[in-house]
Chain A
């Protein structure tokens, strides 16, 4: 008993020192690096955003991270096999919404297509502490204030809603209001704002099932283990047109929640590139490039009905 008590005292001492030093806990987002920055950059700032002056991860190259496999409509497959290690879609071909946005941002910053390199970055690694191997990460990351504590999030490059997918002919497929959704069983991918939307917008009576990937949630939907899954609208389009065969699934509708959602590029916290990337996104918004890319790759936005609150 004596040994146990001294050992536990020592461990308590260790833990107390670790947690008691509250210097870093609950700190607010650092000023000047959140995505809610002010408007267009000044001419002098724009002049500093060139290939030679930017401190990228690899000098002279612009490195973009995304997860593997990459899915349409954010990335598109090649006619032949994708370049290793990419599966399903190939970000390097410039096709697909996020691939095109990545090359467009790089272009505004002075990098040509050959200067852009794509690397695999699993979702959790994009916000892990420590130096980053990428300059920006494009992975359908929705902007959330809490996320800016450990990473810089850029201005939005896509504004879209969450949507509901259900099997054709199921009672859920005919729903038009949120009240009709309350008693169904939903599923979503872990860590996504899709999952948050279930709790915030639908607030169902049954606890939702949460999966590691959308693919597993889709399997559960196919098996009828769930009634419906919540995913962002472009993903819903891919699921209902391609992933679930024979048109067996339909998009029930899209949600218009409280705060509008948008995708941000992820950068290292306090990255020197953040202002320039925001400037590039502003420029792309103003000259209509982003709008054109949305029309080209995500054309179904307005044709999906809204599920009334």
Chain B
């Protein structure tokens, strides 16, 4: 026997529509009002000419986007290496037993030092120090030193993120894996690390975003990436609009990335949950 099932509503809920409209009007009034106040402030024409100058913006934008390709190369290459090296360091840190003490110590010392030193110092030391010592061909592309420096620094942070993820996995998982006959490394590889990584995707994304920003530090060793290019444009025109343009480029790149990754992470979390919990039980189905 079926209990009374409410008939499906046709069209949107009028209460929801009304509250959306109120929210929309309110947002436009508040932000539009703020905008109006700013635009009518006494110093606005000078500030606009210096920071929001359309002509300078349009002139600088193509060059900025071309220079941004260098940043993309830097953070894509560094991120791949960072995710790998960070995991290695985290696993090294977790190796149990007295025989692995030197390995744990090395990992600890590495993460301590490279989280302590400002990233820009590492970039300087690698970009000016290594060629200066004659250790490598001095004509090595400076971008490689930039990628190496960023990798060294960010692996330290990411290894701690991985460690937090690995330690958050309940020990019963490893116990179950070992009882099935998997070795410790196999348990890590097939059971613990996949779960751990899924858990720590938000902080990993955080570090990736930080890495994207820190690629501008590579400009210190001469590489013309987006920030250095905006400095060049800014000094050429005696205007600060190029800096605002750089901020805009980073926002446009980072914000969608955040939402896409969060959505992907949400989907993979939903996939991991048992199916019965994903949909609410229907009432009155035979």
Contact = CB atoms under 8 A, between A and B. Distances in A.
Interface in A205-240: 207-212, 216-217, 219-220, 222-226
A130 B239 CA distance: 13
A225 to B, nearest CB: 5
A191 B235 CA distance: 5
Interface stretch (A14-22, A46-54, A109-117): A14-22
A193 B278 CA distance: 64
Per DSSP, chain B at the interface is: helix
A71 to B, nearest CB: 18
B142 A209 contact: yes
A99 B28 CA distance: 56
A129 B49 CA distance: 9
A28 to B, nearest CB: 11
Contacts of B54: 19, 22, 25-26
B53 A25 contact: yes
Contact of B27 (A6, A25, A191, A210): A6
B139 A225 contact: yes
B119 interface: no
Interface size class of A (residues with CB under 8 A): 35 or more
Interface stretch (B80-88, B98-106, B224-232): B224-232
A208 B223 CA distance: 8
A27 B20 CA distance: 42
A13 B23 CA distance: 15
Given A25-B55, A224-B139, A150 B23 contact: no
B64 to A, nearest CB: 14
A142 B77 CA distance: 39
Given A26-B55, A144-B236, A190-B228, A13 B139 contact: no
Contacts, number: 146
B232 A190 contact: yes
A138 interface: no
A21 B31 contact: no
Given A10-B28, A191-B232, A223 B128 contact: yes
A92 B234 CA distance: 30
Contacts of A16: 35
A123 interface: yes
A9 B235 CA distance: 34
Interface string B122-160: 000000100110000011001000000000000000000
Given A149-B239, A150-B50, A190-B228, A2 B20 contact: yes
A9 B132 contact: no
Contact of B30 (A10, A23, A27): A10
Given A219-B128, A223-B132, A210 B32 contact: no
A18 B23 contact: no
A209 B139 contact: no
A2 B23 contact: yes
A195 B224 CA distance: 12
A219 B224 CA distance: 17
Given A10-B27, A24-B53, A187 B222 contact: yes
A220 B140 CA distance: 12
A212 B32 contact: no
A132 B124 CA distance: 34
Interface stretch (B40-48, B168-176, B182-190, B208-216): B40-48
B48 A9 contact: no
B236 to A, nearest CB: 6
Contact of A210 (B52, B128, B228, B240): B228
Given A2-B23, A21-B48, A191 B35 contact: no
A14 B31 contact: yes
Interface in B48-94: 48-50, 52-55
Interface string A118-154: 0000011001111000000000000010111111000
Contacts of B253: none
Nearest to A2: B20
16 contacts: A9-B24, A13-B28, A18-B52, A22-B54, A124-B234, A129-B49, A147-B238, A149-B237, A190-B235, A195-B232, A209-B142, A210-B232, A211-B222, A216-B221, A217-B222, A223-B131
The 9 tightest CB contacts between A and B, nearest first, are A191-B235, A209-B222, A17-B35, A26-B55, A10-B31, A24-B49, A10-B27, A224-B138, A223-B131
